[in-house]
Amino acid sequence: AVVSTQSTGHTVNRLAFGEFVPGQANPLDNHTFVATALNAMRQYYVQIVPMRYEKISGEVILSNQYSVTYHAKHIDLAKAARGEQAGLPGMFVTYEISPL
C-alpha cells in the first residue's frame, strides 16, 4: 500500500447558512486550524437553527445561525498501511438542521 503524508491545516474564510444579518457572528468565519502534526483529521460538528430578524423598518429577514464543536486526531499511517481502521486525514464538516 502506498501511504503518503499531508498537512491538513486550513482556514475557513466564511461559513454561513442563509442571508447575512447585521451583528451576526459566525463561529467559523476566519477560523484557522494549524496542524501540529502531519496526517491530522479535523471534524467539525455544526448545529444549524433557523432565525428571524426584524429590522426597525419592519423588514423581516429569515436566515440561520449555527454553533460548532470540533475534534482533532492524528491518523496512524502504520495502521493504515496494514489495512487497519485508522481514519482519513482531512477536514470534515457534519451538520444538522434543527427545527424551531
Residue-averaged pLDDT of the chain: 88
Buried b (16+ CB within 10 A) or exposed e, 38-71: ebbbbebebebeebebeeeeeeeeeebbbebebe
pLDDT at 3 over 70: no
Contact criterion met (CB below 8 Å) for 67 and 44: no
Interval 29-47: pLDDT, tens: 999 998 887 788 899 999 9
Residue 37's pLDDT is 78
d(CA 42, CA 73): 7
Residue 1's pLDDT is 47
Residue 38's pLDDT is 79
Q: How many CB atoms lie within 10 A of CB 86?
A: 19
Residue 81's pLDDT is 76
73 three-class SS: strand
